[in-house]
Structure 1
Amino acid sequence: MTMTLRTVSADATAGLPAVAVPGAVVRDPLGAGRRRARNGLLAGLGGVAAAAALAWVLRPGPSRRGATAKGTAAEDATLQAGRRLNRAAALLGASVLADSAVEHYRGSFHNPAMITPLLASAATIAVSLHGSLDGRPRAHRLRDATYAAAALTGLVGTAFHLFNVTRRPGGLSWLNLFYGAPIGAPAAIALAGILGFAAERVRHNAPDGPPSVAGLPAPEVLTVLAAAGILGTVAETALLHFRGAYHNPAMYLPVTVPPAAAAILLRTLWRGGQGPRTAARWAMRATAGLGLLGTGFHAFGVHRNMGGWGNWRQNILNGPPLPAPPSYTALAFAGLAALTLQEEVAVGGGGREEGDGR
C-alpha cells in the first residue's frame, strides 16, 4: 500500500493557493500482477533451458544400424515418417509456447497453473528435436512420457479454458467465445503430444510388418489425425477472423485453403493410387506455405497498430497472434508423414492397390 498526496488547485478552492493534502490510501493492483508475470516468464525460460539441457544430455550417438544390418527401404520410410512427425510436434509445440507466453503474460499469470503449458510445450520441443535427430528405429521412454504429459496438459487446459468462457456473464455466447480464453489454444499442445506419441509408435514398428499405431494402421490413423487437426485449427481461425470482420480479403485464405487440403488428404483413404497422393502432397505443401505466409500477414497486422513495431511491447499483446499461423505448417508436416507411410504400404503390397488404375 502507498500513501498518495492529492493536489488541490487554486480554482477548486476559490482562489486559495494550491496545497498538497493526504489522499486516499490506494493499493498497487499492477505490482502483484507484474511480479507474477515476471515469475511466470522466469519459470518458463527455466523450463526451456532445463528441457534443452536434458535433450542435449540424452542426445543419441551415431547410429550403427548400417554396421549391424542392412536397412530396408521400408525401415527407412518408417523412420523418416517418425522423424517428420517429431518435427511436426516440435513446430506445433513452439507455436503453443510462444502463444501461451504472450497470452498468459497479458493475463499476468494470475493463476499459477498458467505456467504449466509453457513448461509442457518447452519439454515437447526439446524431446521432439531429440527425436528428429535420433536415427534409431525405436521409441524412447522419456519422449513417450513427455508426449503423454503434454497431451494431458492440453486436455486439462481445454477444460480450464471452457470453464473460463462459461463462467462469464452470458455463459457460452459469441461474445465470450470472441474475448474469453481461447478453447482451441490448449488443444494444440494436446495435439502436439498426440503427434509425438504417434511418432514413437511409428518408429517402433517391426520392419517385417505394416506400421501401426495402437493396433490400427498407421497411415489411416495419421491421415485422420492430421486432417482433424487442420479442421480444428480452421475453426479457431474462422472464429477469430470473424471477430476481425474479415477486413482484409487475405483473411479468407486460412478458412478456405486448409479445409480443401484436408479433404484432399482424407480422399486418399478410400481412393488410393499415386495420383490422389500426389495431389494431397501438393495440398499439404500449400498449407505449410500458407502457415508461413500467415505469420507475415500477422506481423504486418502488428505494424498497422498505433506505434507499429516501435511500440512492440503493447502491439504484440493486442495485435494478431504471431505464433498462430505456423500451426498449419506443423499439421501439414504430419499430413506429409501420413502420405509417406501410405506410399510405403503401397510399395510393400507390391505396388498394386485399389483405385490406382493398374
Structure 2
Amino acid sequence: MGEAKREQAGLRSAARSFFRLGQREAETVLAARRLNRAAGTLAASVLADSAVEHYRGSFKNKAMLIPLVVAGLTLTMSLHGTADRRPVAHQARDTSYLLAAATGLLGTGFHVYNVTKKAGGWSWQNLFYGAPLGAPMAILLSGVLGFCSERVRANGRRRPHRVFNLPAGETIATVTALGLLGTTGEAGLLHFRGAFHNPFMTLPVTLPPIGAGLLAGAALNRERRTRRLARWWMRLLTAMGFAGVGFHAYGISRNMGGWRNWSQNILNGPPLPAPPSFAGLALAGLAALELMKEARDA
C-alpha cells in the first residue's frame, strides 16, 4: 500500500514537472512572438514610409527599391513568426532579419552621402530637406529585434533567456532605449523644421526619451515599481505612435486642397507611416519587460 502511494506521488511530481516545462516553453514562444510583432510593426512603417519618400524621389537611384523589397520580406517573416508557435528558431526568418539589419546600415551610408554631396554639405537646410538620416535605422532596428526574437525562441525551456550570451530582457531593453532616442532625434529634427506650430508636436520629443530612461532603469533596477511604471509608459508610447498617424493625416488635410488633392499632399505633408515606428519600439520594450519579469520571478 505504501509503495503504491509512493508511486502515485512520483507520477504526480513528474506530471507537475512536465507541466512546468511545457509552461516555460509556451512563455518562451510568447516572448518571441511579441518581438516578431514589434519587428513587423517597424517593418510595416518602413515599407510604407520608404515607398512614399522614394516615389517622391522618382526612384532616381535603383537602390531605392531595395528597402521596399527588404521591408516587405521582413514584414512577411514577422507575420510568419507571430503565427509560429514552435520553440525553435527559423532559418528563413533569421536570414531576412540579418538582411534587414544590413540594409539599414547601407541605407544610412547612402543617406549620409545624399546630405553631404549637396551644396553646403552639413547644414540645417540639407538636414531638413535631404534624405532623412535616421530613417534607415528603423529597418536596422526591425532586423535586430527580429533576430533577437529568434534567439529567444531558440532558448526553449532554458531559464534565464539569453541573447548573444547576455540576459535577453536587459539586452533588448537597451536596444529599444537606444532606438527610442534615435527615433526621437529624427522626429525632433523634422518637427523643428515645422517650428512646432502644433503643441502636440512636442510629444514625440519628450515622451520617448522618458520611456528610454525608464527602460534603462528597469534593466538596472530590480524593483517591481520601476518595471510597472516602464510598462505603462510603453503602452502610452504605443498609443502615441498610432495616434500620430491621425495627427499627420490632419496635417495633410491642412495643405491646399486637403485630401481632395491627396496625391500631392501625401508626398509633401507630414509622413503618415512614420509615427508607428514609436509603437513598434514600445512593443519591443513591453516584450523586454516581460522577459525581465520572467527571469527575476523564476
Q: Aligned ranges for residues 1-358 of structure 1 at < 5 Å?
A: 71-348=21-298
Q: Contact 2:118 / 2:126 at 8 angstroms: preserved in 1?
A: yes
Query: Paired residues, what number?
Result: 281
CA RMSD of aligned residues (A): 1.2
- Distance in 1 (CA, whole Å) between partners of 2:20 and 2:165 is 27
| In 2: Cα distance, 1:230 partner to 1:72 partner | 34
Contact 2:252 2:265 in 1 (8 A): yes
The residue type paired with residue 200 of structure 1 is: E
Please give the secondary structure, in 1, of the residue aligned with 2:49: helix
Matched position secondary structure for 2:234: helix
Please give the alpha-carbon distance, in whole angstroms, between the structure 2 residues aligned to 1:191 and 1:251.
Answer: 23
Unaligned runs of 5+ in 1: 1-67, 349-358
Aligned to 1:53: none
User: How far apart in 2 are the matches of 1:138 and 1:150?
Assistant: 21
Instruction: Return the alpha-carbon distance in structure 1 between the equivalents of residues 207 and 201 of structure 2.
Output: 11
Q: Which amino acid aligns with 1:183?
A: L
Higher relative contact order (CA 8 A, sep 6+): 2
Task: Report the TM-score, using the length of structure 2 for normalisation.
Answer: 0.92
Q: Distance in 1 between matches of 2:212 and 2:239?
A: 15
Q: Percent identity?
A: 57
Distance 2:26 2:229 in 1: 23
Specify the alignment match of 2:3 in structure 1.
none
Tell me if structure 2 keeps the 8 A contact 1:89–1:330.
yes
**Unaligned residue ranges in structure 2 (runs of 5+):** 1-17
Separation (CA, whole Å) in 2 of partners of 1:101 and 1:93:
12
- SS of the residue corresponding to residue 89 of structure 2 reads coil
- How far residue 347 of structure 1 moved from its aligned partner, in angstroms, is 1.2
Q: CA deviation at 1:113?
A: 0.5
Q: Given that residues 79 and 203 in structure 1 are in contact (C-alpha distance below 8 angstroms), is that contact kept between their aligned partners in structure 2?
A: yes
In 2, the alpha carbon distance for the partners of 1:210 and 1:69 equals 18
Tell me the SS of whatever aligns to 1:269.
helix
Provide TM-score, normalisation by structure 1. Answer: 0.77
In structure 1, what is the Cα distance between the partners aligned to 2:95 and 2:61? 25
Give the Cα separation in 2 of the matches to 1:70 and 1:261.
33
Amino acid at match of 1:109: F
Q: What residue is the counterpart of 1:27 in the other structure?
A: none
| Whole-Å separation in 1 of the counterparts to 2:214 and 2:50 | 31
